[in-house]
Amino acid sequence: MTPLSIVSLVLVAALAWFVSVDPLKYSMGRGIAEFNPHYIEAPPAEKFKDFPRDTQSKLQNGEIMWQGQMLGPESLAFDSQGRGPYTGVSDGRILRYDGPELGWSTFAYTSRNRSQICAPKSPIAPNFAHEHVCGRPLGLRIHKETGEMWIADAYLGIVKVGPEGGQGEVVLNEIDGVRMKFVNDLDFDDEGNLYFTDSSTHWQRRQFIHCLMEGDDTGRLIKYNPTTKETTVLINNLRFANGVAVSKDGTFVVVVEGRLGRLFRYWLKGDKAGTYEVFAELPGYPDNIRRNDDGDFWIACHCPRTPLEGFLGEHPLLRKLIIRLPIPIPYVYRMLAGKPHGMILRYSPSGEFKEILEDQEGKVASKISEVEEHDGKLYIGSVLLPQIVVYTLPKP
C-alpha cells in the first residue's frame, strides 16, 4: 500500500469518526432518537414567477426602534387605552413601552420561575436553552371587554394576565390529558371563544428547526370555550401551524400553515360552517397574521421561498443525513431561510392579494414574525432579532 493510500484511509476513517461521534457537539441531531422526515412537494417554479414584488424595497423606509433593548419581540399588541406596544421576549417576560421618557418596563411573566437563569445579564442575551423553564411568550392578544392579556406561551400553554400585569395564570396546557408541546398564536371571536395553534405534538419551540426539517404534520388549530372549558380540534395535520386571526365579521378564522407557505380559512358561520379551504398560497413562509380595522389581513413572512429549501423538501433522506452531520443549527437554518429578506403581505377578507412590502436586502427588516397596524403605522416584530421596526403607512 502506498503512503498516499494510507493517508487517504486515515483521513476517511478520521472523517467517519468525526461525523459519527461529533466530538465538538455541532450536530443538530445530537440526542434526537426519532426523526422521520416527510416528502414535501415543492410548488412548480413558475407558480410565483409573476407574483407582484416590491422592487423599491419600501420596508427600508421603516425605522429600527429600540434596538438592543430586548431580544425576539415575536408579537405586538396595544391596549384599549392606546398603551404599548406590549411584546413577549426571549427571557420569558412581557414588556410594555411607556413612552420615550420611561421606555420599556416589565409588565408580566408567564413562568413562576424567575431564577438567575431567567434573568440574563443582557437584555439581548439568548435564552434558548432555558425557554422551557422561563417560558417563551409568542402570540399576544388583549381581550376587548376584560382588558386581560392572553398569551400563547410555547411551553406553558394558554396564559392570561390581568390588566395591571404581574404573574400570569395558566388557563390551558393540555388536551384530553396530553400536554401541549408548542403553543404558538391565538385570537378571540366576538362570542368570547378562543382559537389557537399548537405547532407540533412532537417538537418543542426550541426544536423548531427540527420540526421544519422533518416536515412534521402534527400541527393543530384548536377552539377553546373559556366558559365551558371545552376544547375542540378544528384542523389536524398542519405542517407547522402558526398565526391565527378571526375575520372582522366573525364568519371565519384564518390559520397559517408555515411549512407549506399557505393559509387556511375555517368557516365558523354560514352554509360552510365546520369546513375549511385554502385561503392563500404565498411566495414566502408565513409566521403570524393580524387583522386591521378595515378587515384586511397583514401576514408576516419570515423569509421568501428558496430553491434550496424546495429541493430539500423533496429529498427527505438528505435531510435525515444533514441533521446527523456536524453542522451547527445556524447553518441549517440558513439552508432553509436563505439570505436576510423582509416580506409582509396584505390580503382582503375574500382572499384577494392587495399589497406586498419588502426589504429585499434585509437592511432594515428581516426574519419578520408579526405586523401590527396601529395609528397609521406598522409595528414589525421578529422572533429572532433585538429590535422592532416601525413603518409609516402612506396617507390615503
Among all chains, which residue has been given the C-alpha cell 379551504?
A: 277
Residues pairing with 355 in the sheet: 346
pLDDT digits (tens), the chain, 396 positions: 676 665 566 555 555 555 555 665 778 988 888 999 999 998 887 899 999 999 999 999 999 999 999 999 999 999 999 999 999 999 999 999 999 999 999 999 999 998 888 887 788 888 888 999 999 999 999 998 999 999 999 999 999 999 999 999 999 999 999 999 999 999 999 999 999 999 999 999 999 999 999 999 999 999 999 999 999 999 999 999 999 999 999 999 999 999 999 999 999 999 999 999 999 999 999 999 999 999 999 999 999 999 999 999 999 999 999 998 989 999 999 989 999 999 999 999 999 999 999 999 999 999 999 999 999 999 999 999 999 999 999 987
Helix or strand holding residue 211 (H, E): helix 208-214
Torsion sign (Cα): 9, 13, 19, 22: negative
pTM for the model stands at 0.94
What are the strands of the beta sheet with 166-167, ordered from one edge? 76-77, 86-88, 93-97, 104-109, 166-167
The total of other beta-carbon atoms located within 10 Å of residue 122's CB is 10
Q: Would you state the pLDDT for residue 138?
A: 98
Q: Would you state the pLDDT for residue 183?
A: 98
Domains and CATH numbers, the chain: 32-392 (2.120.10.30)
Q: Would you state the pLDDT for residue 168?
A: 97
Q: Would you state the pLDDT for residue 9?
A: 65
Alpha carbons 334 and 353: distance in angstroms, whole number: 28
What are the strands of the beta sheet with 377-381, ordered from one edge? 63-65, 388-392, 377-381, 370-374
Alpha carbons 309 and 200: distance in angstroms, whole number: 20
Alpha carbons 238 and 260: distance in angstroms, whole number: 9
Using DSSP's 3-state secondary structure scheme, residue 118 falls into: helix
Alpha carbons 395 and 393: distance in angstroms, whole number: 6
Q: For residue 185, which of 209, 219, 215 has the smallest C-alpha distance?
A: 219
The alpha carbon torsion through 169, 175, 181, 184 (nearest 10 deg) reads -70
